[in-house]
Amino acid sequence: MQPGRSKWLRRVHGTLGVISALNLFVLITTGLLLQHARLFRLDERFVSRRILPSHYRPQDGEEGVRADIVAADLHSGRAFGVAGALFLDGVTVAWLLLLATGLVMYFVRNGGKTKSETLA
């Protein structure tokens, strides 16, 4: 691969990594909360309306929304409606591009050889 293309590929790879890191943090955190919802008693806790968007689940009342529902909606992207789902689709494509660019960079660096072939 030409040096200019390699630099461009690394820049794309790094930029996608930084952009998707925040979303990955949210997915990991909410996934952990959902996995241990009973331990954290999320069904007994509420997230205040002061920190939630005004249009989010108005049917749940003025006090707030149960924490387990908020965690599930953040995890799935439903908390932000269609835009949230589309954003998660974009992040999924970004992760696929990260995987692809990482593999390309790995094999270009090693000239297509496996680790055992480079040691020999």
> What residue spans define the domains of the chain?
3-110
Q: Between vectors from CA 1 to CA 14 and to CA 120, what angle results, nearest 5°? A: 95
Give pLDDT tens digits for 75-117: 988 888 888 888 888 888 888 888 888 888 888 877 656 556 5
The reported pLDDT for the residue numbered 7 is: 83
77 by Cβ neighbours in 10 Å (0-12 / 13-18 / 19+) ranks as buried
Q: Mean pLDDT across the stretch 56-68?
A: 92
What is the rounded CA–CA span in Å between residue 111 and residue 120?
14
- At residue 4, the pLDDT reads 64
| Average pLDDT value for the chain | 85
Q: What is the pLDDT of residue 62?
A: 87
- Contact indicator for 27, 75 with CB cutoff of 8 Å: yes
The amino acid sitting at 105 is M
Is this model's pTM higher than 0.95 or not?
Answer: no
Identify the DSSP state of 49.
G
